[in-house]
Amino acid sequence: MSALDALDFALLRALSEDATQSAGALGRQLGLSQPATWRRIKRLQEAGILAGRKLELDKEKLGFGVTVFLGVKLAAKGRVSLEDFERAVSAIPEVQTVEHVLGMYDYRLRVTARDISDFERVLRRRVMTLPGVGNVEANVLLSEERRPGPLG
């Protein structure tokens, strides 16, 4: 794919704010026709830059009022494979993201729960029983500010 131009970046910014917009609506914002906008979107998809569109659910309205970030240090890296840990932790429905990181911990998990006692249940009965889990540190999310990302 050739280099991205200013219109490509503007299109990506508009889609990052609201990925449900039609090509016609995006074109009106950017001063392009609907077909020209659609061709740009298609080109960005084919290049793998636009990898999909996400549905975002309101966790609180669904009854999940607590989000906790867990730092997980594996106890013995030689005895348990990273793939085994990743497979086991990914099977826990309350675990929303699993990130393999470099630093004090081996993994960073985003866990959602109905309340603190529900989180404690998930921690004790599911996370702490995973293969290879050593140290775990929890940080409760108080508030979250959405950032537009590198295109903003």
Please report the domains of the chain, with CATH numbers, ordered by start residue: 6-47 (1.10.10.10), 60-141 (3.30.70.920)
Exposed e or buried b per residue across 69-83, where buried means at least 16 C-beta atoms within 10 angstroms of its C-beta:
ebbbbbeeeeebeee
Q: What is the distance between the alpha carbons of residues 17 and 30, in angstroms, rounded to a whole number? A: 14
Distance (Å, whole) CA 148 – CA 152: 5
Residues 6+ apart with CB under 8 A from 69: 108, 109, 110, 111, 138, 139, 141
pTM, full prediction: 0.72
Dist. CA 109–CA 69, nearest whole Å: 6
DSSP three-state, residue 128: coil
Residue by residue, pLDDT tens for the chain (152 residues) are: 568 999 999 999 898 888 889 999 999 999 999 999 999 999 999 999 998 877 778 888 888 999 999 999 998 766 667 888 999 999 999 999 999 999 999 999 999 999 999 999 999 999 999 988 999 999 999 998 876 667 65
